[in-house]
Amino acid sequence: MRPIASVHEIPLGEGRTIAVDGEMIAVFRLRDGSVRAISAVCPHKGGPLADGQIDLKQVICPLHLNAWDLRTGCSLSGQQDVAVYPVFIDDDKIMLGE
Q: Which spans of this chain sit near another protein (rule: CB under 8 A)? A: 3-6, 8-20, 22, 24, 26, 31, 40-41, 45-60, 62-67, 77-78, 93
Beta-carbon contacts of 15 under 8 Å, excluding residues fewer than 6 positions away, are 26, 27, 28, 29, 49, 50, 51, 52, 54, 59
- Residue 48 or 85 having the CB closest to another protein: 48
- Residue 50 or 84 having the CB closest to another protein: 50
Rounded CA separation 24/65 (Å): 20
The least distance separating another protein from the CB of residue 81, rounded to whole angstroms, comes to: 15
